[in-house]
Copies of this chain bind each other. A is one copy, B any other.
Amino acid sequence: MKRTLIEKVKGKAGEQVKIVGFVHIIRDQGSIKFLIISDISGSIQVVITKDAVEALKISKFLNLESVVEIIGLAKIESQAPEGIEIAAEKISVLSVAAPEMPIPIIEKSEEKVSLQKRLDWRFLDLRKPKNQLIFKVWTLFEQSFREYLIQNGYIEIHSPKFMSAPSESGGELFEVKYFDRKAYLAQSPQFYKQMAMASGFEKVFETGPIFRANPSFTSRHDTEFTGYDMEISYIDSHQDVMKEEEKVTQYIIKKIKEKYGEEILKLFGRDLVVPTMPFPQLTMKQTKEILEKMNVPNERDGDLSPEEERKICDYIKKKEDHEFVFITEYPVNVRPFYHMRLEKNLKLTKSFDLLWNGLEITTGAQREHRYDILVAQAKEKSVPLESIQFYLDFFKYGCPPHGGLGVGPSRWLMKIFDVSNVREVTYLYRGVKRLKP
């Protein structure tokens, strides 16, 4: 007999069905017993009456969270949570759970479990339907991102995570014992996605882990996270990269809203909005002027504090009814040496960040592809040339003008679900103090 997904039982009223899943709830009402069984598609009520002698016997020894297979009759039942229930005929226990759960799967409001304890038992925490929805949405998010790019001629690359030199600034670097020498973990695929431009791949993307030895404990930092990267050749300026990001963003959010919009609203109270194009834009100079008028303290010259990110998004939301805003023209001192500079003002870069509802979710720029200028910019920033010579070489033998961006999908997920901690949307969070499970 083939197993039926729980969400499909609705369509099978009057039929005998087989389901599998975890026992989330057991309720004993004298001669009759109710179970709530959950699989990846949903939950259903199972009723065990005294007629089902064998099933009743087995159910007496059933622990919460054991994995069971149940055969029974699907029938309409207005009292059941989903309007349908299964009258059990046969129960088989596929896996027995220990009697005491370290954390409850179905939380009762009075016993709020701490985040640390939930992370200690993340594999149990992830049994909650709310958390499973996060990773269903992540799957669609990533697939939509890739779908858009592949339909538009991008090539996928897998760049090495072992490097002989840092790809970003010298700090926050993890060192690896590499046979008889040292290697470093890539802080981004930056150098190697630019290499693809020098190789004539024209448009590439990569999805993969990013390693940053960031000692901070904030709600939006981790030592390891997933990054999505894109790089495009033959652009006229960073504006071409921004246009591409608008398109891919709209494409992704539309897909997610179509498939999961209702569930996200129901479980998280967040009503996803598909953004209109073009997205609002402000230069850093304009941004700082607006913030000054709003009396928001200027904490970082040429860059935005978390507080400033929130305030400028509030402003744009009110003024233009848009959840996104591009901030452009960051000054040279807050951007890496490989960002191209603005012709009209060499103190500014052809770069941008994208903010979504108060959080920075992307950094991008046109890259400097002219060897001599690139070397001069690296020197100016005191980057040791010998260690990046292999990268500088990419620009010696012909390289198209290009630019790109990097996206942190977990930050996008935070905004999709309107949750404030990156740990909630990460499969297994890694931080300074956390390497387990």
| A53-61, A73-81, A93-101 - interface stretch | A93-101
Write out the residue numbers on chain B whose beta carbons fall within 8 Å of the beta carbon of A203: 40
Write out the residue numbers on chain B whose beta carbons fall within 8 Å of the beta carbon of A395: 95
Beyond A95-B398, A199-B123, whether A185 also contacts B176 by CB under 8 A is: yes
A396 and B155 form a contact (CB under 8 A): no
Beyond A126-B199, A234-B3, whether A156 also contacts B139 by CB under 8 A is: yes
* Oligomeric state, in copies: 2
Interface size band for A: 35 or more
In-complex Cβ contact of A195 among B94, B123, B139, B143 (8 A): B123
CB of A160 closer than 8 Å to a CB of B: yes
Q: Contact flags (1/0) for A396-437 with B, using CB distance below 8 Å?
A: 111111000000000000000000000000011010100111
Within 8 A of B (CB), among A82-103: 94-98, 101-102
CB of A162 closer than 8 Å to a CB of B: yes
Within 8 A of B (CB), among A238-283: none
> What residues of chain A have their CB less than 8 Å away from a CB belonging to chain B?
3, 20-23, 38-40, 63, 65-67, 94-98, 101-102, 122-124, 126-127, 132, 135-136, 138-139, 142-143, 146, 150, 153-164, 174-179, 183, 185, 192, 195-196, 198-203, 207-209, 211, 213, 215, 223-224, 226, 234, 369-370, 390-391, 393-401, 427-428, 430, 432, 435-437
Identify 16 residue pairs between A and B in the complex whose beta-carbon atoms are under 8 Å apart, listed by A's number. A65-B397, A67-B399, A122-B195, A123-B198, A127-B199, A132-B199, A132-B201, A142-B156, A143-B156, A158-B209, A158-B226, A161-B211, A176-B177, A178-B435, A192-B427, A195-B437
